[in-house]
Amino acid sequence: MPIITVGDQQFEAPAEKRLVLALEDAGIDILHRCGGYARCTTCRVEFQVGEPRRMTEAEKNRLQTDDQPLYGKVRLSCQVLCEQDMDVTPVYQVATSEVDNPGKRPEDHMTPEPVWTSVDY
């Protein structure tokens, strides 16, 4: 199983589990305000190690059309599957934001239905 590292925490995640759910289920504080639909970008993480080369079109479109383009800087953890060891840093958390909950729990399967493309950076 892939090993996920967040700061000084490390845990195993089932292969192909959505990264946002792996983080949340490990007790990591991370927002997912749109419920995992590649809309809100609050589930964004910075990758230190293990950034996947594949990317959903929904994620790519969202990261490229943000007011301040995020493409190449962060990934949307609701659009990433645990397919290898990863070291990530969640950017937005309940503890450091003005919201009182992370948002509706994303579904277990990828939403929207993934159409895979790849990063080109």
For ligand FES, the binding residues (CB under 6 A) are 32-34, 36-43, 76, 78
Beta carbon of residue 18, minimum distance to ligand FES (angstroms, whole number): 9
Residues 69, 30: Cα–Cα separation, whole Å: 21
The tokens for 66 are 């943000």
Residues 45, 117: Cα–Cα separation, whole Å: 19
Assess contact for 19 and 77: CB atoms under 8 A. Answer: yes
Nearer to ligand FES, 8 or 34 (CB): 34
Nearer to ligand FES, 23 or 41 (CB): 41
Beta carbon of residue 106, minimum distance to ligand FES (angstroms, whole number): 6
